[in-house]
């Protein structure tokens, strides 16, 4: 399906994805998206009642992309749950670093508050993967599996967030975020059995 033959709705979302990836979150205005898609500024309204609806559709593309990467990671990673979690964390942090604008858009509070992005369809599947793996490596003295998984996910998310704008590298003096990822995994799951 080429750019020209694709429907206007798909072209709008594609243009928005392109924009947020290359120009950042502030560039994703309704009119600019419409221009890039080659339609008038009123056209999006036919498919998306408001700007927020269009942004939500773009963010869903981001979640789909992330989910695909996680799936690929889970396919390629070895069988050991601990190693799979490490690979998953690496994928998550990589995605946040290389798709910063999209990552910000995906977790914008006003989109989530609006109810257009339902967690059940976006971040929850990702969490389920984490929770499943965590349950396999959880030690008896650890917190209940959902809580442990939530804490670990929050840690990954926080590293991605704080790392992205240079606070953590400045504070920790680390050269990359690998040290933080390892520290988080070791903390929540115990040191890697080598």
Residues binding a second copy (CB under 8 A) = 26, 100, 104, 107, 109-110, 112-113, 119, 123-124, 127, 131, 141-144, 146-159, 161-168, 170-174, 179-180, 182-184, 186-188, 191
Who's near 83: CB < 8 A, 6+ residues apart? 77
What is the C-alpha to C-alpha distance for residues 20 and 29, in angstroms, rounded to an integer? 10
**CB-based contact 80:86 (threshold 8 Å):** no
Q: Which does 183 bind (CB under 5 to 8 A by kind): a second copy, DNA, none?
A: a second copy
Q: Which does 193 bind (CB under 5 to 8 A by kind): a second copy, DNA, none?
A: none
Q: From CA 86, how far away is CA 82, in angstroms rounded? A: 6
What's the min distance (Å) between Cβ of 64 and a second copy? 17
Least distance to DNA, CB of residue 42, Å: 3
- Cβ proximity to DNA, 51 vs 90, nearer residue: 51
CB of 164 to DNA, least distance (A): 23
Residue with smaller CB distance to DNA, 46 or 118: 46
Rounded Cα distance between 20 and 18, Å, is: 6
Q: How far is the CB of 10 from a second copy (least distance, A)?
A: 28
Nearer Cβ to DNA, position 39 or 145? 39
Cα 94 to Cα 176: distance, rounded to the nearest angstrom: 11
Residues 6+ apart with CB under 8 A from 67: 125, 126
């Amino acid at each position: 399906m080429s750019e020209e033959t694709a429907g206007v709705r798909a072209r709008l979302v594609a243009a928005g994805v392109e924009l947020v990836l290359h120009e950042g979150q502030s560039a994703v205005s309704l009119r600019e998206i419409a221009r890039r898609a080659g339609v008038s500024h009123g056209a999006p309204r036919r498919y998306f009642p408001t700007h927020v609806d269009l942004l939500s559709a773009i963010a869903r593309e981001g979640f789909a992309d992330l989910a695909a990467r996680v799936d690929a990671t889970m396919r390629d990673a070895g069988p050991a749950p601990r190693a799979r979690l490490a690979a998953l964390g690496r994928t998550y942090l990589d995605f946040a670093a290389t798709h910063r604008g999209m990552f910000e858009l995906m977790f914008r509070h006003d989109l989530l508050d609006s109810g257009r992005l339902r967690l059940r369809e976006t971040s929850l599947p990702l969490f389920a993967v984490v929770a499943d793996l965590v349950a396999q490596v959880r030690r008896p003295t650890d917190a209940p599996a959902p809580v442990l998984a939530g804490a670990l996910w929050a840690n990954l998310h926080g590293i991605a967030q704080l790392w992205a704008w240079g606070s953590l590298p400045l504070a920790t003096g680390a050269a990359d975020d690998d040290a933080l990822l390892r520290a988080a995994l070791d903390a929540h799951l115990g040191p890697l059995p080598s």
